[in-house]
Amino acid sequence: MESTPADRRQAVVSAIATARRADGRVEFVADDTGDRVVFEDRRLRVEGADRDRLAALLEEYGVFKVRQPATRKADDGVVYLSAVTDPKHAADFVEALFREVYEAPTDYRLRVESG
């Protein structure tokens, strides 16, 4: 479990790179808040995020766009974001998402679950 910003970013970079090579899925969980973000198929699944804070963050990270699945309507409270970017930029975004949107503390613990 990672608890510093640098360690969390490195864990996210490694997990996303591995998931992309394996065409897999990875879940990032902030143990302190229970919030989670799923990366799969170059898309992030964001659940329960404050829409205003998420919109403000998306303005800072222009490469991430809301992209709901074409085949079905997203569940209530779920937003899908295209994440067609390098793993480092995605890691920066995930860190900012937990800190700015979910308001996780500076030393929150990040758990990475591959599946």
The rounded distance, in Å, linking the Cα atoms of 25 and 40 is 5
- In the block, which residue shows the tokens 């989670």? 36
| Number of structural domains the chain divides into | 1
pLDDT at 81: 93
pLDDT value of position 1: 76
pLDDT score of 67:
83
pLDDT of residue 55: 93
Find the domain containing 38 and state its range. Answer: 5-114
pLDDT of residue 28: 97
Cα separation, 18 vs 12, in Å, equals: 10
- Across the chain, which distance is largest between two alpha carbons, in Å? 38
The pLDDT tens digits along the chain (115 residues) read 778 999 999 999 999 999 999 999 999 999 988 999 999 988 999 999 998 999 999 999 989 998 876 556 656 788 999 988 899 999 999 999 999 999 999 999 999 998 7
pLDDT at 72: 61
DSSP 8-state assignment for residue 2: B
CA-wise closest residue to 58 among 100, 30, 16: 100
